[in-house]
Amino acid sequence: MARVTDIKIAPSILSADFAALGNEVRAIDQAGADYIHVDVMDGHFVPNITIGPGVVKALRPHSKKIFDVHLMISPADPYIPDFAAAGADIITVHPEAGAHIHRSLQAIRAAGKKAGISLNPATPVDLLKHVIELTDLVLIMTVNPGFGGQSFIPLFDKIRAAREIIETVDHPVDLQVDGGVNAANAPDAIAAGANVLVAGTSVFKDGPDGYAKNIRALRGDA
């Protein structure tokens, strides 16, 4: 079980100022972010369109932190090499995005990157049992993917169940929650077993002067 001191904060740049993304990434890096969470959407798997590998590549020189790339695109497999080459450290895919999630996770690791699997709110947690050996990160979606600023769905039993499955393997696996995470619900997500908190709105809400304070609040040491 993750101790509170091990908690990592992954600000989602979906909530950043897109006209100043390089500055925004530097600002969250300096404010104490652990991962830079990049939400990639295609207008097909989810109803919104965001950014692609070219933007990841352009942002890469702005931070040495871990680039945590969340693919909400279908198909995802053809783009894994592009995001790997662009500088992603973790690439996370949804099982519904293709016919063969097992193969997708293998492809991410074959590209030399950490492999993540993301479960939508209604996607059963049990499928993790069949792929956990191939997985470096489990993302539990606490909103339906597509937009920032939605309300947190309290899927604490699901987070606990994912933690139990993670504990069956010997290699390190991050347990990430994503969607509507804020300082009020973060302690319960951590207590349920999450060790990485993705947060867009609750990090970026006050502009750059608030980033460090908001990241500390998510860690519970504000």
Q: Which of 68, 77, 136, 178 is catalytic?
A: 178
Question: Per CB under 5 A, does 113 bind Zn ion?
Answer: no
Q: What angle do CA 110, 126, 155 make, to 5 degrees?
A: 105
- Upper half-sphere CA count for residue 161 (Cβ side, 13 Å): 13
Interface residues toward ligand DX5, by CB under 6 A: 12, 14-15, 37, 39, 70, 143, 145-146, 148-150, 178-181, 198-202
Question: Per CB under 5 A, does 178 bind Zn ion?
Answer: yes
Question: Per CB under 5 A, does 68 bind Zn ion?
Answer: no
Q: Which of 133, 91, 130, 138 is nearest to 114 (CA)?
A: 91
Of 8, 70, 158, 163, the one binding Zn ion by CB under 5 A:
70
Annotated catalytic residue 39: yes
Q: Which is nearer to ligand DX5, 55 or 106 (CB)?
A: 55
HEC profile of 7-46: CEEEEEHHHCCHHHHHHHHHHHHHCCCCEEEEEEEECCCC
Of all helices (H) and strands (E), which one includes residue 91?
strand 90-93
Q: Which is nearer to ligand DX5, 93 or 171 (CB)?
A: 93
Q: Which is nearer to Zn ion, 139 or 165 (CB)?
A: 139
Q: Which is nearer to ligand DX5, 53 or 200 (CB)?
A: 200
The listed partner (Zn ion, ligand DX5, none) that binds 40, CB under 5 to 8 Å by sort, is none
Q: Which of 39, 42, 68, 77 is catalytic?
A: 39
8 A C-beta contact, residue 12 and residue 92:
no
Residue reference for tokens 């608030």: 210
- Upper half-sphere CA count for residue 19 (Cβ side, 13 Å): 0
Site residues, Zn ion (CB under 5 A) = 39, 70, 178
So which residues are the catalytic ones? 39, 178
